[in-house]
């Protein structure tokens, strides 16, 4: 795809979008939004369950990407941008729900809570990084379908219904599959020495 790819309805390649950031062209944000805006909005909205807050988080993420590229040259770009949106949305979520609960995202958090070791305290970045690596190793052992379901549910915050629709499976099937994955995660983390 050439430089003009975005002009006839096609999205620019990630490498070209990154080059636009390095050139400090405002077109970079427009192209990023065109290519990944919907998925980023969905991630934020799944966490916040509030469209206006989700849109603000996505806009904040575009600014964060603008501030970080350069010097960063992320690959793949979608993972980089999604992580920024998710982190911003989670911070907003924590602030919004300091005294009330958002049942939509709290259900997913409650499901996975039993798999997260109590020994990893908030603010211990080294312990959190090690836990993240252990979870990544576990995710790498899953079959493709289980891996996608796990990431969609516990990273993106998709509902069981949305995952069931995407896989053309029943909600019960997805719930059972996720339950088995969580059980396997507990076993994996216990095997790596974590106390659950």
The whole-number pLDDT of residue 126 equals 73
Tokens 């005294």, located at residue: 99
Say if CB 73 and CB 18 are below 8 A apart: yes
Domain boundary among 49, 76, 96: 96
Whether residue 65 sits in one domain with residue 108: no
Whether residue 92 sits in one domain with residue 170: no
Q: What is the CATH number of the domain that holds 165?
A: 1.10.10.10
The whole-number pLDDT of residue 22 equals 95
The whole-number pLDDT of residue 102 equals 54
Whether residue 109 sits in one domain with residue 92: no
The whole-number pLDDT of residue 7 equals 41
Averages of pLDDT over runs of 10 residues in the chain (196 residues) are 40 91 94 95 91 94 94 90 92 75 65 73 69 88 95 88 94 94 91 79
Whether residue 60 sits in one domain with residue 19: yes
Count of the separate structural domains present in the chain:
2
Quick one: which H or E segment has residue 2?
A: none
Please list, in sequence order, all residues whose beta carbon lies within 8 angstroms of the beta carbon of residue 62, skipping any fewer than 6 positions away. Answer: 29, 32, 33
- Whether 186 maps to a domain, the answer reads yes
The whole-number pLDDT of residue 8 equals 41
The whole-number pLDDT of residue 1 equals 31
Domain boundary among 43, 72, 96: 96
- Alpha carbon 177 to chain centroid distance? 20
Locate 59 and state its tokens: 């806009």
- Whether 196 maps to a domain, the answer reads no
Instruction: Tell which phi-psi region holds residue 157, choosing left (phi > 0), alpha (psi between -120 and 50) or beta.
Output: left
- Whether 60 maps to a domain, the answer reads yes
- Alpha carbon 147 to chain centroid distance? 13
Domain boundary among 96, 112, 141: 96
| Residue 162: φ, ψ to 5° | -65, -40
The whole-number pLDDT of residue 35 equals 95
Q: What is the CATH number of the domain that holds 69?
A: 1.10.1740.10
- Whether 33 maps to a domain, the answer reads yes
Query: What global pTM score does this model have?
Result: 0.62
Please list, in sequence order, all residues whose beta carbon lies within 8 angstroms of the beta carbon of residue 112, skipping any fewer than 6 positions away. Answer: 154, 182
- Whether 164 maps to a domain, the answer reads yes
Residue 165 structural domain: 103-191
- Whether 163 maps to a domain, the answer reads yes
- Whether 158 maps to a domain, the answer reads yes
């Amino acid at each position: 795809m050439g430089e003009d790819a975005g002009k006839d309805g096609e999205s620019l390649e990630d490498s070209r979008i990154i080059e636009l950031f390095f050139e400090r062209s405002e077109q970079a944000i427009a192209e990023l939004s065109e290519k990944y805006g919907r998925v980023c909005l969905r991630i934020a909205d799944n966490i916040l369950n509030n469209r206006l807050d989700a849109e603000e988080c996505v806009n904040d993420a575009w600014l964060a990407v603008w501030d970080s590229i350069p010097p960063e040259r992320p690959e793949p770009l979608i993972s980089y941008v999604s992580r920024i949106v998710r982190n911003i949305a989670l911070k907003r979520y924590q602030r919004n729900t300091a005294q009330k609960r958002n049942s939509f995202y709290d259900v997913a958090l409650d499901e996975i809570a039993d798999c997260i070791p109590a020994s990893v305290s908030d603010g211990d970045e080294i312990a959190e990084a090690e836990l993240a690596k252990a979870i990544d190793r576990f995710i790498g052992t899953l079959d493709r379908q289980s891996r996608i379901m796990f990431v969609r549910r516990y990273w993106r915050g998709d509902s069981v219904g949305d995952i069931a629709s995407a896989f053309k499976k029943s909600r019960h099937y997805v719930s059972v599959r996720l339950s088995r994955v969580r059980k396997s995660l507990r076993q994996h983390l216990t095997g790596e020495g974590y106390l659950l």
